[in-house]
């Protein structure tokens, strides 16, 4: 069970807290605004009203004791930057901060953030890629080059086995699983593709385009 400190109980912080709570994490949330603290209370172990840029207040929380500290302040970059720098200065083991643009991302990384999340950028990229082709149903980015894609079954693949398609050798694409009738199966070389199957593939976008003729 991981212990998490969330500084900033706005909309983004609430979403993070709700998901992490479902994953059985112990969560302390902090915000300077009482109404925000009250809103996040159902999803956290504890919450306090306080200033995330106040060194004495942060010291009272024992930031070294948390597995991860998340700075989710979205409406005041100066506050976010100060909180990030203070957390790292005080020995926080892992600091993840939210950015709203590329410049903020660079400054946060230079001033103590171990990792930066950029929700708007991620959402825009996800939307752009999904809308670029009817074949792409969804995707999860792994790094700058590789992602896992949820793909609709190409018509000319129906009735063929994986060994016949040979996409790994031809296109450097790996089919890691198939959703069939609502269930995930691990396909073998002799697995034959059905019309309603959904494919989960891992690869680079340029190879995906060649393979699925996008």
Question: Which band of pLDDT confidence, cut at 50, 70 and 90, is reported for residue 128?
Answer: confident
What is the pTM (predicted TM-score) of this model?
0.70
* Residue-level pLDDT at 140: 83
Please give the angle made by the CA atoms of 188, 189 and 191, to the nearest 5 degrees: 65
Query: What does the block give as tokens for 1?
Result: 């069970």
Instruction: Say yes or no: 72 and 145 in one domain.
Output: no
Instruction: Say yes or no: 126 and 196 in one domain.
Output: yes
Least confident range from 106-110, 139-143, 195-199: namely 139-143
Total structural domains within the chain: 2
Give Cβ neighbours of residue 160 (< 8 Å, ≥ 6 apart): 192, 193
Instruction: Say yes or no: 93 and 70 in one domain.
Output: yes
Instruction: Say yes or no: 164 and 89 in one domain.
Output: no
Instruction: Say yes or no: 146 and 175 in one domain.
Output: yes
Average pLDDT of the chain to the nearest whole number: 91
């Amino acid at each position: 069970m991981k212990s998490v400190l969330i500084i900033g109980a706005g909309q983004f912080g609430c979403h993070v807290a709700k998901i992490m709570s479902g994953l059985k994490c112990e969560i302390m949330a902090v915000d300077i605004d009482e109404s925000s603290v009250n809103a996040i209370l159902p999803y956290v172990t504890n919450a306090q009203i306080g200033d995330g840029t106040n060194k004495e207040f942060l010291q009272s929380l024992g930031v070294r004791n948390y597995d991860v500290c998340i700075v989710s302040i979205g409406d005041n970059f100066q506050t976010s930057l100060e909180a990030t720098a203070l957390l790292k200065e005080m020995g926080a083991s892992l600091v993840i901060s939210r950015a709203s643009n590329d410049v903020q991302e660079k400054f946060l990384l230079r001033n103590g953030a171990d990792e930066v999340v950029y929700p708007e950028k991620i959402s825009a990229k996800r939307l752009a890629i999904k809308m670029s082709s009817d074949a792409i149903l969804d995707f999860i980015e792994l790094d700058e080059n590789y992602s896992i894609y949820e793909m609709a079954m190409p018509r000319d693949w129906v009735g063929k086995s994986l060994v016949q398609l040979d996409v790994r050798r031809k296109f450097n694409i790996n089919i890691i699983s198939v959703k069939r009738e609502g269930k995930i199966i691990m396909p073998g070389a002799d697995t034959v593709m059905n019309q309603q199957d959904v494919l989960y593939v891992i690869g680079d976008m340029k190879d995906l385009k060649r393979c699925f003729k996008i």
